[in-house]
Amino acid sequence: MNQETIATHFGYNTKSGTGAMAVPVYMSAAFDFGSSDTAAARFALKEFGPIYSRLTNPTLDVLETRFAAFAGAKMAISTSSGEAAIFYAIANLAQAGDNIIVAQKIYAGSLLTKTFKRFGIQAKIFDADSADDLEALIDDKTKAIFFESLANPQISVANIQKIVDIAKKHKVITIVDNTVATPVLFDAHTHGIDVAVYSATKYINGNGTALGGLITASNHLNSIIKNNPRYEWFNEPDDTYHGLIYAQLPDELDCYILRIKLCLLRDIGATLAPHSAFMMIQGLETLSLRMAKVCENAEKIANFLSSHPKVKNVNYPTLKDNPSYEKAQKYLKNGKASGLISFDLGDKQLATRVINAVKLFSIVVNIGDSKSLITHPASTTHFQLSDDELNAVGVGPGVIRLSIGIENVDDLITDLDNALQA
Ligand SMILES: *Cc1c(COP(=O)(O)O)cnc(C)c1O
């Protein structure tokens, strides 16, 4: 089955139950086992079925099963936000005394480099665009390499092949934040990445109506974890789960995803709400269509901005002079580069005037909405950085970031053109 068909059909049978065409929302905290034998079988993992909505819920099951198939993954798990997904993805692998290697340009920087530090997990920073400095950072205590496929707001593409090759050599798990590309544009697991995390709040939802996160794991992840001393707790009995050894679970199950469910969701509980899962299921149905439109619009807008006399520089990976152009062609499906564009007006006052003058674009720090958004990173998402630091990370004071939606592109270009006269 292809992605568009999976997104509309997979994991839910309209012929079962009432015949409801839309996936029902199971707004229930707990589920009646019917018999004590069933209750025992579910707790012992002899039978899969709903227990309690912190762990399992039939609406979430449809989203997770469908998204795993959509992303070419063995299993998926949903969480209450993208940040919660990233927290689980790391907390499932690392503990105090361990380290993680994290790309320099990432959204979840404060979580990965500051908050985890308080838990005793140190982050070492590498340059994901080249990955030249990556291998030297790996040691026995390295538990994960974390990067974004399409990083924002500089809109660059990681050197994926090199990162994956180095990780394979050292048997370290790779985690990609694939929020901006989505599985429509970047097939993380086919490219050899072990784990992908998503803020489903963005393109997957598509309408900006709910927060949520998703984690997927590749088909080969069990074999990396099994008997790997780096991941000892997967290979030892879990005394909080009747001595279960995750790495010995049958191979059709994914031990990494199941440990998040059985251990981290149980103990921490940042679970997606059933109604939010329903919103994500609705969004996923049209994700492929929306991504195609978003990419088409963004490419036209990037070309328009490139030829505008007031614009000093445009960052969008389909532009031939872009530093990520070759990598975008190599890794992103059909070389399409999603909806984020940044451009430099070289001057903070001008950038502010343009942002205040647009009419269709909303001044919002979100991304991935069907409606186009505009931000000034230097005074919002990156306000804590000095001018030198801003220039170093590619978001100087004159830089504007756009998240392009699915409106008519001529209207968007007219709006930007008028605002640029400001
Ligand atoms: C928004 C975002 C997140 C965080 O997701 P939330 O759903 O807001 O918690 C993580 N990574 C990227 C790339 C994002 O854009």
**Angle between the N-to-C axes of helices 287-306 and 274-285, in degrees from 0 to 180, rounded to the nearest 10:** 60
Instruction: Tell me if 375 CB under 6 Å of ligand 1.
Output: no
- 211 Cα: distance to centroid of ligand 1 (angstroms): 9
At residue 303, the 3 state secondary structure works out as helix
Choose the CATH number for 3-282 among 3.40.190.10, 3.40.640.10, 3.30.465.10, 3.30.200.20: 3.40.640.10
Instruction: Tell me if 80 CB under 6 Å of ligand 1.
Output: no
- 83 Cα: distance to centroid of ligand 1 (angstroms): 6
Instruction: Tell me if 368 CB under 6 Å of ligand 1.
Output: no
Q: Would you say 305 and 311 are in contact if contact means Cβ atoms under 8 Å apart?
A: yes
Each residue's pLDDT, cut to its tens digit, for the chain (422 residues) gives 999 999 999 999 999 889 999 999 999 999 999 999 999 998 888 888 889 999 999 999 999 999 999 999 999 999 999 999 999 999 999 999 999 999 998 888 899 999 999 999 999 999 999 999 999 999 999 999 999 999 987 889 999 999 999 999 999 999 999 999 999 999 999 999 999 999 999 999 999 999 999 999 999 999 999 999 999 999 999 998 889 999 999 999 999 999 999 999 999 999 999 999 999 999 999 999 999 999 999 999 999 999 999 999 999 999 999 999 999 999 999 999 999 999 999 999 999 999 999 999 999 988 999 999 999 998 888 887 888 888 877 789 999 999 999 999 999 999 999 999 97
Q: Where are the domains of the chain?
A: 3-282, 289-421
At residue 225, the 3 state secondary structure works out as helix
Q: Which CATH fold would you assign to the domain 289-421? A: Aspartate Aminotransferase, domain 1 (3.90.1150)
Q: What's the chain's length in residues? A: 422
Instruction: Tell me if 178 CB under 6 Å of ligand 1.
Output: no
349 exposed, middle or buried (CB, 10 Å; 0-12, 13-18, 19+)? exposed
Instruction: Tell me if 153 CB under 6 Å of ligand 1.
Output: no
Q: Do domains 3-282 and 289-421 have the same CATH topology?
A: no
118 exposed, middle or buried (CB, 10 Å; 0-12, 13-18, 19+)? exposed
In one-letter notation, the amino acid at residue 338 is S
- 177 Cα: distance to centroid of ligand 1 (angstroms): 9
pTM (predicted TM-score)? 0.96
Six-digit token string for 404 = 């392009």
201, 215, 271, 403, best to mutate for ligand 1 pocket (most atoms within 8 Å of CB): 201
Instruction: Tell me if 213 CB under 6 Å of ligand 1.
Output: yes
The answer, yes or no, to whether the previous bond of 153 is cis (omega within 30 of 0) is yes
Q: Which atom of ligand 1 is nearest to the CA of 83?
A: 9
